[in-house]
Amino acid sequence: MRILLVDDDQPLTEILRQSLIEQHYAIDIATDGEAGWEYACVFDYDLILLDVMLPKLDGISLCERLRARGHQMPILLLTARDTSPDKIKGLDAGADDYMVKPFDLEELAARIRALLRRDSQALPAVLKWGQLSLNPSTCQVVYGDQPLQFTPKEYALLKLFLRSPNRVFSLSAIIDSVWSAEDSPGEDTVRTHIKGLRRKLKLADAPPDLIETVYGLGYRLKSHPTKPISSNSSSIANEQTNKQTNKQSEASSESMPLTSKGASKGAPNAGPIGQTEVLKESSSPISKALSIPLTKKQTEASTAIAAVWQQYKAQIISRIEALEQAIRHLAAGQLTDEHQQKAQQAVHSLVGTLGTFGFAEGSRLARELENHWRQTTPLESNQSKLFEMLASALRQEIEGAPTGEFLQPTRQGCLRLLAINDLTLQTPFSDIAPAASKIHIEFVSSLSQAREIMDQQSQDAVLISISFASTGSDAAISPSEGLVFIQEIVGQTPSLPVFAVIDSDRLADRIEVIRHGAQACLPQPVTPDQIMASVMQALGKSNSGAKVMILDDDPHLLEALQILLAPWNFKLTTLENSTRFWEVLMQVNPDLLVLDVEMPDVNGLELCQLLRSDPHWRQLPVLFLTARVDAETQRQVFAIGADDYMSKPVVAAELATRLLNRLQRVQSLRR
Amino acid sequence: MSTRRILIIDDEEAILAVAKLSLKMVAEWDVVTATSGPEGVIKAESEQPEAILLDVMMPQMDGISTFKQLQANAKTQAIPVILLTAKAQAVEQLQYKQIGVTGVITKPFNSLTLANEMAELLDWRL
């Protein structure tokens, strides 16, 4: 976590620096408003502590300026003035919180933690991954009940990963987040710290690969563990069921919005997102968009339905019994057609009734069972273990009163996206706000579940993660399975847009995916925003692609960018010859310009300066793409008024994100 | 405005009970029920509901046959019908639309918003 402190009171900044460093934050200090502005433009801060009375540029104006430029990090104002008008002015300028000097350091620390939590879409107070928990307020890390000791940097690293599950951090992103500008280390140092962190995790019997290496990209938190520690026996069937139940309950927490209780019921070890975290997720945009508060009448109806349940409970249980009987016959190898048919009818009816009573999870379990029983291949006796588990989970589900969880209704005008084996959108803290209110996402973990859902409900778009790097041992979908599936569903519904997220950069792999009928191929890592942008684009729900113009003298790079950026549907104009720059610029009238710094005929920085002095192009967002990584170039780039900066080699997903962010900010400013 | 009357036809009594309760409480509609297609056709004629919620999967006479009978009867052919179905494949939905049903709601439905969904399909104000 990196914090910028803008304050000219030196004794105070010294105390604050000490205190914040003790809490493992990386701190940069600016002593006047202009310097604060420059820092904030060059580095990504997680939070800004801002004094109101500052030389050169006062804190309120700086705050306004930051907000106007689209900076969204939390800002906490520090001031000596304790009057309401001052506070109101500060908050109206876009500050998130306010503290009056002299203040209590502990209180400041707590407020900082609260703001940082808010910034991460309601992160829980304690960060968890399986049995590992990190408490930011006490800086304590515990695995199971064993406390772990880390160095401050290891601690900061662990916190960084836990706060952003599924995000891949490049080494430079890690340095930016964990180290301050003045003690920025070399990449080897970061690797050493990660090694240290892994070693200590291993010593505590925690999974050392908790921090995964993503080859060529960086590091990330390992995603979705199944049960972190399985108690004793773990037959294959057992594990499978646990996995499925966990996945199901996670999925249900996304798609069953009308409740706040029991989201993880039936799955006490629900993967990396412990129960509290799932519940706290309510402020994430997607659940917010889907959480329609119940009206008074609906609440009353819900209570009445729970009462009616008592009348039908015995009848429902008798169906589960019929199912259990069939499972016993199956285990004994004595399953007759009659038994099987009876069980099939029982589960079919359970799907409908349980869902109607508000046992969403029960309904899902029944659906899973129904899917198995409906299989065309004869059931094998060794499948009975899995069925037993499911049936017993089903029994557990209906033991109590209805949970009041209803499956997401088929809303008219609501688009349906089926996400298969996808972890990107499923990340609970992901911000997919723009699309969320219009899209209902259903998560499934296997192709068979996907087929089943598609049998029951037509989809507007399908997202599938295919692993080219898979060893075949895990739950990943292999290219052969995935491509056949794509071909199959596109064959059935040619208009159905299918998006494939793949973990391969090879052009041949992408072509293969597209050849099988996918609409677009999104290479990992990809953010939820990027996925949603593609989906919305394909469904014609977003504005036509933004016009992006790229000027670079390297034809190979331009060609590569055309291919790399294809999934994001920008209207791309690439230009190699800088002498035609103005002519093409006028013609295209782009929404965003990407410039190289060094080109044969012209210097990109000078071009940008010219644009900034031209009334017509002054507002055009400019992003620099350059091989130069020195601080001086960076400084120059921002000094002449560029909006963003990225060093080569280009990571497509990162570039796309930066472009999208920039365009989004421009749009919000226009509004 | 007089209370709207709805007929629900479903062979599953538990579902009838919940749907009836929910529509009554949430939308204050008057709900009559039938547990089979033939019973539904009779009640549609005698009760003259303003809309029918009809399950597709029923023993004896399924929802589609029931719908066809309702259409063939001058006294019931104008009543809008919403199908309740577990299978709402795009192709099937289109077929249902073509034979003249007003809309489709998938099972299991959300009991608490069932009235809203129906109102939306029927273009009614709740």
Q: Based on the domain organization, do A425 and A516 belong to the same domain?
A: yes
Which pLDDT score is estimated for B48?
96
> How far apart (Å, rounded) are the C-alpha atoms in residues A251 and A601?
55
Total residue length of chain B: 126
- Contact of A134 with A143, CB cutoff 8 Å: no
Which pLDDT score is estimated for A537?
65
Q: Based on the domain organization, do A78 and A163 belong to the same domain?
A: no
Tens digit of each residue's pLDDT (9 = 90 or more) over A186-196: 777 888 888 88
Which pLDDT score is estimated for A241?
35
CATH code of residue A188: 1.10.10.10
Chain CA centroid to CA A240, Å: 25
Q: Based on the domain organization, do A516 and A560 belong to the same domain?
A: no
Q: Which two tokens stand for residue A583?
A: 């002519």
Q: How far is B74 from chain A (nearest CA, A)?
A: 30
Tens digit of each residue's pLDDT (9 = 90 or more) over A82-131: 776 777 788 888 888 888 887 888 888 888 888 887 655 445 667 888 88
Q: Which of A409, A462, A443 is nearest to A273 (CA)?
A: A443
Tens digit of each residue's pLDDT (9 = 90 or more) over A556-599: 888 877 776 765 667 889 998 888 898 999 988 998 999 988 88
Q: Based on the domain organization, do A507 and A605 belong to the same domain?
A: no
CATH for B5-121, among 3.40.50.2300, 3.30.1330.10, 3.30.110.30, 3.40.50.720? 3.40.50.2300
A342: in domain: no
Going by C-beta distance under 8 Å and a sequence separation of 6 or more, which residues neighbour residue A636?
A: A605
Tens digit of each residue's pLDDT (9 = 90 or more) over A180-219: 766 777 777 888 888 888 888 888 787 777 888 776 567 8
Torsion sign over Cα A257, A258, A260, A265:
negative
Tens digit of each residue's pLDDT (9 = 90 or more) over A384-442: 888 888 888 888 888 877 766 665 444 434 567 788 877 666 543 333 433 344 466 77
Looking at the structure of chain A, the number of domains it has is 4
Q: What is the CA radius of gyration of chain A?
A: 27
A52: in domain: yes
Q: How far is B98 from chain A (nearest CA, A)?
A: 17
Q: Based on the domain organization, do A555 and A645 belong to the same domain?
A: yes
Tens digit of each residue's pLDDT (9 = 90 or more) over B69-111: 999 999 999 999 999 887 544 446 656 777 888 888 888 888 8
A327: in domain: no
Q: Answer yes or no: do A315 and B113 touch at CB < 8 A.
A: no
Q: Based on the domain organization, do A73 and A11 belong to the same domain?
A: yes
% of chain A beyond a pLDDT of 90 = 8
Burial class for A470, CB neighbours closer than 10 Å (0-12, 13-18, 19+) = middle
A567: in domain: yes
Residue A648 gets which letter from DSSP?
S
A78: in domain: yes
A632: in domain: yes
Q: Which two tokens stand for residue A184?
A: 């920025």
- In what order do the strands lie in the sheet containing B30-34? B30-34, B5-9, B51-55, B81-85, B103-106
Chain A residues within an 8 Å CB radius of B21: 301, 304-305, 308
> How far apart (Å, rounded) are the C-alpha atoms in residues A415 and A439?
5
Q: Answer yes or no: do A301 and B117 touch at CB < 8 A.
A: no
Q: Based on the domain organization, do A570 and A646 belong to the same domain?
A: yes
Tens digit of each residue's pLDDT (9 = 90 or more) over A439-492: 667 778 888 888 888 876 677 789 898 888 866 556 688 888 899 999 988 887
Nearest CA in chain B to A351: B108
> How far apart (Å, rounded) are the C-alpha atoms in residues A653 and A524?
8
> How far apart (Å, rounded) are the C-alpha atoms in residues A624 and A166?
27
CATH code of residue A510: 3.40.50.2300
Q: Which two tokens stand for residue A451?
A: 């087929």
**Of the partner residues B25, B109, B111, the one whose CB lies closest to the CB of residue A300:** B25
Q: Which residue has the tokens 């109806």?
A: A301
Q: Which of A498, A514, A537 is nearest to A419 (CA)?
A: A498
- Contact of A272 with A128, CB cutoff 8 Å: yes
Q: How far is A355 from chain B (nearest CA, A)?
A: 5
Q: How far is A397 from chain B (nearest CA, A)?
A: 16
Q: Structural domain boundaries of chain B?
A: 5-121
Q: What is the mean pLDDT of chain A?
A: 75
> What separation in angstroms does the CA of A182 have from each of A176, A214, A360, A566?
11, 28, 53, 38
Q: Based on the domain organization, do A458 and A528 belong to the same domain?
A: yes
A563: in domain: yes
ipTM: 0.86
> How far apart (Å, rounded) are the C-alpha atoms in residues A394 and A396?
5
How does DSSP assign A347-415, residue by residue?
A: HHHHHHHHHHHTBHHHHHHHHHHHHHHT-SSPPPGGGHHHHHHHHHHHHHHHHSS---B-PPP--TT-E
Q: Based on the domain organization, do A663 and A568 belong to the same domain?
A: yes
Q: Answer yes or no: do A356 and B19 touch at CB < 8 A.
A: yes
Q: Based on the domain organization, do A49 and A92 belong to the same domain?
A: yes
Q: Based on the domain organization, do A111 and A133 belong to the same domain?
A: no
Q: Based on the domain organization, do A48 and A140 belong to the same domain?
A: no
